[in-house]
A and B are shown apart, each in its own frame.
Chain A
Amino acid sequence: MTTTVPTRPDTLPEQSSRRRPVVPGRVLPVVSTFVLFVLLFGVGSVRYEGFTSGQVFANLFIDNAFLIVLAVGMTFVILTGGIDLSVGAVVALSTMVAAATLRAGLPAPVVILLVLAVGTGLGVVMGLVIHHFELQPFIVTLAGMFLARGLCFVIGVESISIKDPFFRALATGTIDLPGGVTITWSVVIALVIVAVAAWVLHRTRFGRTIYAIGGSESSATLMGLPVARVKVMAYAISGLCASIAGLLFSVYMLSGYGLHAVGMELDAIASVVIGGTLLSGGVGYVLGSLLGVLVLGVIQTLISFQGTLSSWWTKIAIGTLLLLFIVMQRLFTRRNA
């Protein structure tokens, strides 16, 4: 029995000589989100008169400043491989605390510090519980969500309007940009936060540790990185961002209400995922999350320009996109595996 088995020529790729492609694979999702955004904006420009204006573009930021901030915090958590479901409720709680304490006569700076402390504190507690009891972030932050939402109604069941001059000034104050475009201070705050977050994630050891934990938590531990501290900090940052978003939202609505921002945590998660961050952690960019929010915003704008469609179509569009992006990510990671 003599069998001659054909062998393929030796085609083992030379490891060292492999060059990286022009667009590195991991930036691809962000690039595709950007392309998607440009496409959607282009569709609007072609179909609707007055869509192609600087102000329409600026309004995307004005109307979604709080969501941008929320998505930034969410990016930190998702990069570690976790999730934070509490942020929407923390936004509501922040508006409620702000409105109630302002009504009670506390000065605006004190109110702001108090709100930030409440949000960050809640984040720290959830982070500690998640890390030290090795619990699922999903469940712990779900508990945090119920807690925060419930606390809103302990403070008051009615909507409380905000009459504080500082908050009102922030709400009405605008900054004129060249070309007759105006933006609000909220936009400036949100963009500064995006810039700071990008710097922290890419240029500090803390930021790189966030990525390392998302890549492999046990490896990060064995590499001697401060995993516990960084993980808790990620939830603290998410809490801080949620309370900042809450302040921006109270400026936007000029009221505090327990039913504000219902489901907003899901918008934030959707933005982060559409922005190309892997839910399993370790891969993603804050800039992607910003683009994700803008995509959501432009869909909303398109539907309002269309005029006859119900705003619920936004949800349907987001749902479809989300599914599309997750499938795309799966194909992408499978190819790389």
Chain B
Amino acid sequence: MTDTSSTTVAPAGRPGVSGDPVVAMQAITMEFPGVRALEDVDFRLFPGEVHALMGENGAGKSTLIKVLTGVYTATAGTTELRGERIAFSGPAEAQASGVSTVYQEVNLCPNLSVAENILLGREPRRLGSIDMGATRSRAAELLRRMGLDIDPGSILAEHPIAIQQLVAIARAVAVDAQVLILDEPTSSLDQDEVAELFRIMRHLRDEGVAILFVSHFLEQVYEIADRMTVLRNGRLVGEHLTRDLTRLQLVSAMIGRELGVLEEVERLAADAADAAEVTGGGDRAPLLEATGLGRRGSIAPFDLRIAAGEVVGLAGLLGSGRTELARLLFGADRADSGEVRVDGRVVSLRTPRSAIASGIAFCSEDRKGEGILADLSIRDNLVLAMQAARGWARPIPRRTKDELVEKWMTALDIRPKNPDALVGKLSGGNQQKVLLARWLVTRPRLLILDEPTRGIDIGAKAQIQKLVAELAAEGMAVVYISAELEEVARLAHRVVVLKDRAKVAELDGSASVDEIMALIATADGDVRTEQVAS
């Protein structure tokens, strides 16, 4: 397995890719009623390169991919594959021509075997019958080529998401794909899994496959991509060799404004952290104190103290128990051991309703599934939690509602600034803001944020982090969960490190990303649990 930390530099000469592009899109314009999603965009993809398509949400990345794979037909412009003009009728035809796509969500059938998922629709046949033996051995060969040691006869659902994602890639390359499009394949993978994915990507690249890679993780892009194309607001900003473009240049190219916001977050967070230290965050009577709280098969018993005005970060890999811990605090899952005290009094958090009554709010990581109501307007989504808290018998007066909505839409810069817009139509970042605002109107005392910045653009990320720092400064307690350790290290006054569904350490706010990472990588519950008191 490749080591993530030893960032391999792209082989010399590779980025200078010679020869003709396998994909050449020219002057692509895509218009939807009322929106111009792409305007005059050129895009080239060469064989044997990993090419990152960069841009904020709404920059037109997905639209460009959909034009390439035939989901949309471009309003203007031409697409050439190996020098021939093409216009696919859909993903099926694109696939048949060697253009395969792997999406963020695993789009496979969990009820079928790994082998079938790889070869479904093109199984080897004999006399009209599917040859199961041949199907299995062909799948096994493909998996071997990718260096994956899994039983092709096993059912897909038995494997973790990361493996399923790799099976999806196996399916994509099974057609001898010359162009492989990976649309945010890493958003649900942990570090080892990303390393595994990158190993396979490099392998395929070296075999001459052209890989189009979309990711919100800058570090990943810098690790794997040879070249990148940056889009902003549907226009091409530029095409660069990765090594020629610094991270700062890339970010400013993507968001098209100075990096003031990010710097401001840093400053605010630092201020807030200082303030907390002055007031002695850890020594104050805790707002919430959990002792021995745990749930079998979910998370081992843990202790946790959170004071008002404190941001507690939860760090750990995917599946380390971050979300499970949060769900226990919110009563979304029932604890089977331990107790929780709020303001020193024991409370029973058996349902989210009782947690809300104690002033606890929870923004789920599953925005679409457990958060927003896509078919309701921004206004309705915003007042939902407040209405629930008031009880159904006391409707919120229309005026109060409008004032609240106006206030929070301005405060959080929710766009479009139209309270009647359906939430399902908003970008990920704006959906997240609506979700946040929904809880903020209820004035919670403890806000639990599970991956609030996942899958949203940098501008919105910065705004949300800034907001968290401000809320804490105003005295709200925040539990902040993020896979991006930089965010946790930047915002949190204390960092709780989780591993394998147990709390393994607690660090103070000065902990660096490296320290946290070292703990996650090595904490085994023995020597490494040296603690830093806060």
Residue ranges of A at the interface with B (Cβ–Cβ < 8 Å): 1-8, 10, 12, 15-16, 18, 20, 26, 199, 202-205, 208-209, 211-212, 214-216, 218-220, 222-225, 282-283, 336
A8 touches B92 (CB 8 A): no
A5-B529, A6-B300 provided; 17 other pairs, C-beta below 8 A? A1-B531, A1-B533, A2-B531, A5-B303, A5-B504, A7-B524, A16-B151, A18-B158, A202-B130, A204-B128, A205-B120, A211-B109, A212-B112, A218-B107, A219-B107, A219-B108, A223-B121
The residue that A2 contacts in the complex, of B95, B120, B504, B533, with Cβ under 8 A, is B533
In the complex formed, the residue of A with least CB distance to B505 is A5
Closest 6 CB pairs of A and B: A7-B525, A215-B109, A224-B92, A282-B111, A215-B111, A219-B107
Residues from chain B with Cβ under 8 Å of A26 in the complex = 155
CB distance from A277 to the nearest CB of B (A): 12
Interface size grouping (class) on chain B: 35 or more
Residues from chain A with Cβ under 8 Å of B499 in the complex = 7
B120 touches A209 (CB 8 A): yes
For window 109-155 of B, CB contacts with A under 8 Å fall at 109-112, 116, 120-121, 123, 125, 128-130, 132, 149-151, 153-155
B103 at the binding interface (Cβ < 8 Å): yes
Residues from chain A with Cβ under 8 Å of B327 in the complex = none
Supply 20 A–B pairs (Cβ within 8 Å), ascending by A. A1-B282, A1-B534, A5-B303, A5-B502, A5-B505, A5-B525, A6-B300, A6-B525, A7-B523, A26-B155, A205-B120, A211-B111, A211-B112, A212-B109, A216-B110, A219-B109, A220-B109, A223-B108, A223-B121, A224-B90
In the complex formed, the residue of B with least CB distance to A207 is B130
CB distance from A96 to the nearest CB of B (A): 37
The residue that A216 contacts in the complex, of B107, B158, B534, with Cβ under 8 A, is B107
Residues from chain B with Cβ under 8 Å of A199 in the complex = 129
A20 touches B121 (CB 8 A): no
CB distance from A2 to the nearest CB of B (A): 5
Residues from chain B with Cβ under 8 Å of A202 in the complex = 130
- In the bound assembly, the distance between CA atoms of A84 and B253 in angstroms comes to 55
Residues from chain B with Cβ under 8 Å of A203 in the complex = 129-130, 132
In the complex formed, the residue of A with least CB distance to B282 is A1
- In the bound assembly, the distance between CA atoms of A215 and B163 in angstroms comes to 18
Residues from chain A with Cβ under 8 Å of B112 in the complex = 208, 211-212, 215, 282
CB distance from A187 to the nearest CB of B (A): 26
Residues from chain A with Cβ under 8 Å of B529 in the complex = 4-5
B13 at the binding interface (Cβ < 8 Å): no
B121 touches A10 (CB 8 A): no
B302 at the binding interface (Cβ < 8 Å): yes
The residue that A8 contacts in the complex, of B91, B101, B160, B300, with Cβ under 8 A, is B300
B95 touches A7 (CB 8 A): no
Residues from chain B with Cβ under 8 Å of A2 in the complex = 531, 533
B49 at the binding interface (Cβ < 8 Å): no
- In the bound assembly, the distance between CA atoms of A209 and B499 in angstroms comes to 40
CB distance from B477 to the nearest CB of A (A): 17
B36 at the binding interface (Cβ < 8 Å): no
B487 at the binding interface (Cβ < 8 Å): no
In the complex formed, the residue of B with least CB distance to A223 is B120
Residues from chain B with Cβ under 8 Å of A224 in the complex = 90-92, 95-96, 121
